[in-house]
Structure 1
Amino acid sequence: MTKLIVICGATATGKSGLALKLAKRLGSVILSADSRQVYREFNIGTAKPSLAEQQAVPHYLIDICNATETMTVADYQAQAQALINSLPNSPLLLVGGTGLYIRSIVQGMKIPRVAPNYELRSQLESLGQTTIYSILQQVDPIAAQKIHPNDPVRTLRALEVFYVTGVPISEQQGENPPEYPILQIGLDCEMDKLTERIYKRTEQMIADGLVAEVEYLCQKYGADLPLLNTLGYQEIKEYLAGKISLEEAEELTVLHTRQFAKRQRTWFRAYPQIEWFDANDADLLDKVWQRVISIKNSS
């Protein structure tokens, strides 16, 4: 039978809700694939499953990192792969909207384990993008062909890996897909309906105490903490600083979440292995369940 069932898609499409129901039917567990839910204390703004939900179905890869630490894709991949190999439940559910996390597992991405070197990055940045891209063309022409000349993030990362390891990043990358079978389920809906979902979820987050959560985190870690510059937290932080009203913070959160969701949809649509289902379908659970059963019966 399928070893891993992926439930992916844009934010607010109901991935977590579907996963909970499916996990209960399967007697399985859930592995989170969300790049912010890995951080402790960031709960409401990340739509982290509640304690009751985590008690109903065991969740892994949630609350595994302190807010002042950095969880890299390589770190996530290592922990996720270890869990998949050790947990007896079959299938396991990998659930979330962080495309790189999911891709690292289902495609077995080879990721150079080089921690961010901020001093090196600062030195390279001071040279300017044109210069560092030219350097990259010299030391790793294969990587340079795949990176846009105006992409400083990937240019810096490629040079960082080269200078730290002495080996071009192009020689350290690639894929080693797992041998076990994987079913990838994607949830999507029309953008206007997704916007409605985003509005409702944002309202619920504020009702659940998002403002108090952001205020507490700002007091504990300082307003400059990078995680506090992410969706939902940045907007509420501006409200707490007196720059905008709470209503404006809510509207900005919806706008920015909608923009993020569009990027997620584009990312996931590029992978033909994903089987798509309508997030608003009243029979969604039964249709997904039938797809799972059809694989079980044919195996």
Structure 2
Amino acid sequence: MSQSLAPLIAVVGPTAVGKTAFSIALAERIGGEIVNADSRQIYRFMDIGTAKPTPTERARVPHHLFDIVTPDQAFSLAVYQELASRTIAQIAARGHVPLLVGGTGQYLAALLEGWRVPRVAPQPELRQRLAEEAEQHGVGVLYERLRRVDPLAAARIEANNLRRIIRALEVYEVTGQPISQQQERQPPPYRTLTLWLTMERAELYRRIDARVDTMIAAGLVEEVRSLLARGYGWELPAMSSLGYKEFRPYFEGSAPLEVCIERLKFNTHAFVRKQEMWFRRLPHLTRLAADEHALDAALRIVRERQLVG
């Protein structure tokens, strides 16, 4: 890998493993700036449920791509990739080290694997029509259509993942080309290192449950109420994300709060298992136990790879 390429260090790991504290400490030691790779932390007004870095934490090192859109604004992987690539280049031009930090697999893979993401803007009317068709006839009808026009994309998408199926059909209808042909990869213009923070599953689940309790105490339910009061409905992708969708039954009067809290813990356990599937595929991957030795181990690896001076 050419030494002329700018360094890019990704800090990845499951929800609640400690990415925020670790990445800030690492950035302070190597002159780094943090670039968000969490698809929910891009939204304004959604702070507690997304576990954003606090204002105090953000003041320690520069943070980028947090709070950049409102929950009702359209935002795509292509837009994220463009913004993140530009931000990384600007950080490198300042002589600092960009740290890509988060747990959203698609965001991470798009940058680290050099995806070419189709620049097709959302088509609300088309999406609505496809969603209504799925509601009337089942998701399987759309999935079979996708298998006919783009079997490679269908093989990569779960048969019940309505959002991704609709996106693939949307790209095909707008461009006339399968989305799989438009997702070819090219080597990214970085010298990359991916640090995967790991933890024993039982301990991670304990930390998740404790963090959910802390979120509730910090006002998560009030945050959801405030979002609804601002007019952000449950149909929005932002409001259907982990940490928010679980409280819909409570606000609609169909379940007590305690049940919703337990559902959030259960869903987060399931989510971290899905995150692991994405992390395993990332390039230049090094696993680090998320313990008191992690920072020293990371600094040693970064210097050995000559990613900092």
Residue matched to 2:76: 72
Q: Give the SS at the match of 2:42.
A: coil
Question: Offset at 1:265?
Answer: 1.5
- Residue correspondences, number: 298
Output aligned runs, 1:1-299, within 5 Å: 3-87=7-91, 88-124=94-130, 126=133, 128=137, 132-133=142-143, 135-144=145-154, 146=156, 152-226=162-236, 227-271=238-282, 273-279=284-290, 281-296=291-306
Q: Give the SS at the match of 1:76.
A: helix
CA contact (8 A) 1:198 1:257 kept: yes
Structure 1 Cα separation of the partners of residues 85 and 216 of structure 2: 35
Structure 1 Cα separation of the partners of residues 38 and 171 of structure 2: 25
Question: Offset at 1:27?
Answer: 2.1
Q: Give the SS at the match of 1:17.
A: helix
Question: Offset at 1:274?
Answer: 1.6
Q: Scaled by the length of structure 2, what TM-score is found?
A: 0.87
Structure 2 counterpart of 1:190, which letter? Answer: E
Structure 2 Cα separation of the partners of residues 239 and 298 of structure 1: 50
Q: Scaled by the length of structure 1, what TM-score is found?
A: 0.90
Distance 1:150 1:240, change over 3 A: closer
Question: Offset at 1:268?
Answer: 1.2
Q: Which runs of 5+ in 1 are unaligned?
A: none
Distance 1:236 1:149, change over 3 A: closer
RMSD: 2.5
Structure 2 counterpart of 1:38, which letter? Answer: I
Deviations 1:200-220 (A, max 9, x none): 211111121112111111111
Structure 1 Cα separation of the partners of residues 283 and 31 of structure 2: 28
Question: Offset at 1:283?
Answer: 1.3
Structure 1 Cα separation of the partners of residues 211 and 60 of structure 2: 22
Deviations 1:154-213 (A, max 9, x none): 443332212111223233121122232011000111110001110121111112111211
Structure 1 counterpart of 2:96, which letter? Answer: S
Q: Which runs of 5+ in 2 are unaligned?
A: none
Q: Give the SS at the match of 1:68.
A: coil
Distance 1:47 1:192, change over 3 A: same
Structure 2 Cα separation of the partners of residues 248 and 145 of structure 1: 36
Structure 1 Cα separation of the partners of residues 202 and 192 of structure 2: 31
Structure 2 Cα separation of the partners of residues 98 and 105 of structure 1: 11
| Greater Cα offset, 8-17 or 207-216 | 207-216
